[in-house]
């Protein structure tokens, strides 16, 4: 029991230090049941929007997503033909949105390191995608080097997923070192993903974390070693130093979602 109290207290202290007077309202919004969603089915013309107060799984069958998830995909800018990498694709929600947005001539490589998550990725793309034009591979981006092969890359990095911890009431196991550890892994993934990006290409880094260490902190560290152009597309979300952040208390319950857009200059 003492450990649970300690974990929750550490969680509140950690994020209170980052958000100051805004933390109580943000924290309360993380506790609220998600009221809005989109549901993808294997029909390009059908995207169901949720009705507040009704469980989406009782409303319509499909692959259910927080509407905030669409913004990193929109930020890719998929008009025209592209070679696309979804670097941490499982369980497949953003890959499904990419498949809907990309042209018929575009190609998507969706990959993930986890064999169990890869099974879900394959199942979800097979069940809910209305098209082909994709390849699925199991590997860790850090273990496989792609040298400038893609002109669009989505790196939806593994993150702290604080809303999940709050919703599942498992904060007793939370520790502040988790965010710092993940930020190091995210930075390493971003560097490797950058190596896979073609000159003139666009990379979108995203998380569902509210930790500044895992969001702007990762981008700031990256920019100290790599020459990248930050692009602000003026999409939805509160503007941060390097990207955009959708927080549920500011976006009608959507999020959290952070995304930053980086472009590699042509040689």
Residue 59 has pLDDT above 60, yes or no: no
- pTM equals 0.91
CA distances for 153 relative to 38, 58, 142, angstroms: 23, 34, 15
Residue 50 has pLDDT above 60, yes or no: no
What average pLDDT does the chain have?
A: 88
Residue 246: what pLDDT? 97
Residue 55 has pLDDT above 60, yes or no: no
Q: What domains appear along the chain, each with residue ranges and CATH number?
A: 2-263 (3.40.50.150)
Residue 49 has pLDDT above 80, yes or no: no
pLDDT band at 63 (very low <50, low <70, confident <90, very high): confident
How many degrees, rounded to 5, is the angle at CA 13 between CA 5 and CA 222?
Answer: 125
Show which residues are catalytic. 208
Q: What is d(CA 205, CA 258) in angstroms, rounded to the nearest whole number?
A: 8
pLDDT band at 8 (very low <50, low <70, confident <90, very high): very high
Residue 138: what pLDDT? 80
- Residue-wise pLDDT for 120-144, tens only, equals 999 999 998 878 889 998 876 656 6
- Residue-wise pLDDT for 247-265, tens only, equals 999 998 999 999 999 999 9
- Residue-wise pLDDT for 233-246, tens only, equals 989 999 999 999 99
Q: What is d(CA 94, CA 239) in angstroms, rounded to the nearest whole number?
A: 22
Residue 5: what pLDDT? 56
- Residue-wise pLDDT for 144-162, tens only, equals 667 789 999 999 999 999 9
Residue 54: what pLDDT? 47
């Amino acid at each position: 029991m003492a450990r649970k109290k300690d974990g929750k207290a550490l969680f509140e202290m950690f994020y209170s230090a980052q958000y100051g007077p805004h933390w109580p309202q943000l924290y309360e919004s993380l506790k609220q049941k998600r009221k809005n969603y989109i549901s993808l089915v294997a029909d390009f013309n059908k995207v169901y929007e949720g009705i507040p107060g009704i469980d989406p799984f009782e409303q319509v069958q499909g692959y259910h997503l927080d509407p905030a998830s669409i913004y990193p995909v929109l930020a890719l800018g998929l008009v025209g033909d592209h070679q696309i990498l979804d670097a941490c694709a499982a369980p497949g929600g953003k890959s499904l949105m990419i498949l809907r947005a990309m042209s018929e001539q575009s190609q998507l490589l969706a990959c993930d390191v986890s064999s169990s998550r890869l099974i879900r990725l394959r199942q979800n793309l097979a069940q809910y995608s209305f098209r082909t034009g994709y390849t699925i591979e199991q590997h860790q981006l850090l273990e496989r080097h792609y040298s400038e092969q893609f002109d669009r890359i989505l790196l939806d990095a593994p993150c702290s997923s604080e809303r999940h911890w709050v919703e599942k009431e498992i904060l007793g196991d939370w520790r502040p070192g988790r965010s710092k550890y993940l930020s190091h892994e995210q930075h390493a993934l971003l560097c490797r993903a950058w190596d896979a990006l073609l000159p003139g290409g666009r990379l979108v880094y995203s998380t569902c974390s509210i930790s500044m260490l895992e969001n702007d902190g990762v981008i700031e560290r990256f920019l100290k070693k790599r020459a990248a152009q930050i692009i602000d597309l003026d999409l939805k979300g509160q503007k941060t130093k390097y990207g955009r952040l959708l927080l549920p208390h500011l976006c009608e319950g959507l999020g959290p979602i952070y995304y930053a857009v980086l472009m590699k200059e042509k040689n």
